[in-house]
Structure 1
Amino acid sequence: MSMKRILLTLSFVLLTSLLFAQVKKVKITDLETYIQKSDHPLMISFWATWCVPCVEEIPWFQEGVAKFADQKVELILVSLDFARDYPYKLETFIKKKNWQASFYWLDETNADYFCPRIHPKWEGGIPATLFVNNKTGYRRFFDRALTDRQVEPEIKTMLKEVKVNGR
């Protein structure tokens, strides 16, 4: 292969990676481990491209996280889109929306297995959001859409509460 062709190929790969959001494939056990070992507050949204309330609330999540950037709140968007949509459709959709977060696609199909691992009462409906702050013991789960007025107060509560589990 000529040097020119190698450079063109590398340029294409780099440009493609910049144009598309990187969505990593993840198993529920990997996500659980990340949550358990996190040393910073997490806001984890389970969503899909075809879920209108999911897509509607994500900009509010981004605004809320941006307000608390100094406290290192991380927004994690876990897609429950169909396997046929990973990665191209999902990455294209995220890029079009210009979202900033950590992006994952949950490589699981059995909701009876993965839902209770996030919260015992989660029956699989989306949107669903989990707030976790291991430093304070805070963990709160919502199995419904949040409004723009609920996001910031919930982040504030996550950052200040101590030992409020299982709400």
Structure 2
Amino acid sequence: MRILLTLILLSGLAAARANGYDSLPAPAPAVQSVPAVQKMKITDLQDLIARSDHPLIINFWATFCAPCNKEIPYFQTTVDRYAGSGVELVLVSLDLPDYFPARIAAFAQSHAYTARLVWLNETDADYFCPKVDARWTGGIPCSLFINNKTHYRRFFDRQLTEPQVDLEIKEMLKPAP
């Protein structure tokens, strides 16, 4: 099943190249800084999740994934509305190694992504997918909502709408029962 992620990644990359998206976007004006992209292994990501002392949304995406890039802007705007509650969005790129860091950073900059950027330095979806969620078949986009203080954890292996993101953040912020 996890071979599906590999096939999706490769087919998405081929489609992106066929549509002329293989080149980097034009450089942004000098006043903007290129976002930093942190490299992580799955164990590092697990530690980040386990040690989080604030509500956290982990969104898995790739530069060539149209549904991923459709949902990220409203993830960002919705998370911004909850800034006072300490909600953090982490965008975890599943792009191929040759996209790290320059192409991921340039793509994020050209799309005005402001959330923390991470590139998952893993190639075996059979290994890393179940470490995120046992039900993850490897498709993207997918998102993990976590609030360790209330023991809240919910995984979505599909694209979410803006109202769904808002509702999920509200659920994540509710006090523990």
TM-score range, shorter chain: 0.7 to 0.9
TM-score (norm 2): 0.81
Q: Is the Cα–Cα contact under 8 Å of residues 128 and 143 in structure 1 kept in the other structure? A: yes
Larger RCO, structure (CA 8 Å, separation 6 or more): 2
2:83 aligned with 1:69: yes
Q: Distance in 2 between matches of 1:103 and 1:90?
A: 9
Aligned to 1:96: 110
1:161 Cα offset (Å): 5.2
Q: Distance in 2 between matches of 1:19 and 1:136?
A: 36
Aligned to 1:135: 149
Higher helix share: 1
Unaligned runs of 5+ in 1: 1-15
Counterpart code for 2:62: A
**Where does structure 1 differ by over 6 angstroms across 4 or more consecutive aligned residues?**
none
1:10-65 deviations in whole A, cap 9, x for unaligned? xxxxxx8x621100100000000010010000011000000000000001100111
Q: Distance in 2 between matches of 1:30 and 1:133?
A: 18
How many residues were matched structurally?
148
1:99 Cα offset (Å): 1.1
Aligned to 1:23: 37
TM-score (norm 1): 0.85
Question: Tell me, what secondary structure is at the counterpart of 1:135?
Answer: coil
Counterpart among 64, 77, 85 of residue 99 in structure 2 = 85
Identity %: 52
Q: Which has the larger radius of gyration?
A: 1
Aligned to 2:54: 40
Aligned to 2:137: 123
Q: Is the Cα–Cα contact under 8 Å of residues 138 and 161 in structure 1 kept in the other structure? A: no
Q: Distance in 1 between matches of 2:165 and 2:49?
A: 20
Aligned to 2:122: 108
Q: CA RMSD in A?
A: 1.4
